[in-house]
Amino acid sequence: MNLFDLTGKRALITGGTHGLGMSMAKGLAVAGAELIINGHSPDKMEAALNEYTQAGFQAKGYLFDVTNDEQVKQSIDKIEKEVGPIDILINNAGIIKRIPMAEMSTADFQQVINVDLVAPFIVSRTVGHYMIQRKAGKIINICSMMSELGRNTVSAYAAAKGGLKMLTKNMATEWAKHNIQVNGIGPGYFATEQTAPIRVGGHPFNEFIISRTPAGRWGDPDDLMGTTVFLSSKASDFVNGQIIYVDGGILATIGKPSNEA
């Protein structure tokens, strides 16, 4: 028996049209899973489905707004009917707004909380209804360094990701008895579109992250594949409510002075 084999399993990845979501989806497909990709932009979805097909993976796309109760309910019902049972849910869709807190509007703050925290609640509750009936399921919430640490300008994001860590533990608590394992992945600093504004063009944050990370580099989105497969597979059947940080060691260390090798 291969503990990590996902053949015959179906995985729904929110925000799976690009970035970390796409890499995690590809990891699941390599392990044998069938992909169901959620996004909200028709153009991005078309490009993503082409990319999955070219990579040799089977993927179906569903456009819906993860913050909208009605849309989520209709779409999950439709997926369950048209494609089949959702065995694995990756709550990956997320946004960030980098605005100093003293200047941030309530509307901006709430929007980040809505996408990064309320949406995983809505999607998990909806998929959870099916998983509870089946007495089986894997849910992975994509947390962040900001589930543990603060940083200038990201108050809403840190509040949401800290909340998502605790939502993960609470979901794990309520649903372990139904054989649903709920865990989180906390990516460190990864080279994606989302971090481009603080990584490219000689931005000082680029050097800062390289020196702050014991592994001495930004994460490559493919670095997330193994942990994603583990938490989606039989190998993690007694792992509940854990957040696995895939961060090149950032959270293991206090850091070092800039004159130290």
CB of 70 to ligand GCO, least distance (A): 29
Structure-block tokens of residue 202: 């000689």
Q: By CB under 6 A, what part of segment 151-170 binds ligand GCO?
A: 151, 154, 157
Residue count, binding to ligand GCO (CB under 6 A)? 14
Which range touches ligand GCO (CB under 6 A), out of 8-16, 43-51, 108-116, 150-158? Answer: 150-158
For ligand GCO, which is the closer residue by CB, 187 or 248?
A: 187
Burial (CB < 10 A; 0-12, 13-18, 19+), residue 9, is buried
The reply on whether position 243 binds ligand GCO by CB under 6 A is no
Count CA within 13 A, CB hemisphere, residue 23: 18
Question: In angstroms, how far apart are the furthest CA atoms of the chain?
Answer: 60
Per 3-state DSSP, the chain is made up of helix, strand and coil in percentages (nearest 5) of 50, 15, 35
Which range touches ligand GCO (CB under 6 A), out of 29-37, 69-77, 145-153, 221-229? Answer: 145-153
Report d(CA 164, CA 251) in Å as an integer. 18
**Contact 66/123 with Cβ under 8 angstroms?**
yes
- In this chain, which of 91, 126, 144, 213 binds ligand GCO, going by CB under 6 A? 144
Task: Give just the sign of the alpha carbon dihedral 3, 17, 19, 124.
Answer: negative
Q: For residue 36, which phi and psi values (nearest 5 degrees)?
A: -120, 115
189 included as an active-site residue: no
- In this chain, which of 187, 221, 241, 248 binds ligand GCO, going by CB under 6 A? 187
The reply on whether position 93 binds ligand GCO by CB under 6 A is no
Report d(CA 246, CA 189) in Å as an integer. 9
- In this chain, which of 198, 224, 225, 244 binds ligand GCO, going by CB under 6 A? 198
For ligand GCO, which is the closer residue by CB, 90 or 96?
A: 96
Q: Identify which of 42, 46, 43, 51 has the alpha carbon closest to the alpha carbon of residue 22.
A: 51
Catalytic option among 62, 130, 157, 245? 157
Which range touches ligand GCO (CB under 6 A), out of 84-92, 109-117, 187-195, 221-229? Answer: 187-195
The reply on whether position 217 binds ligand GCO by CB under 6 A is no
Report d(CA 181, CA 239) in Å as an integer. 7
CB of 206 to ligand GCO, least distance (A): 12
Residues annotated as catalytic are 157
Q: Which residues bind ligand GCO (CB under 6 A)?
A: 96, 98, 144-146, 151, 154, 157, 187-189, 194-195, 198
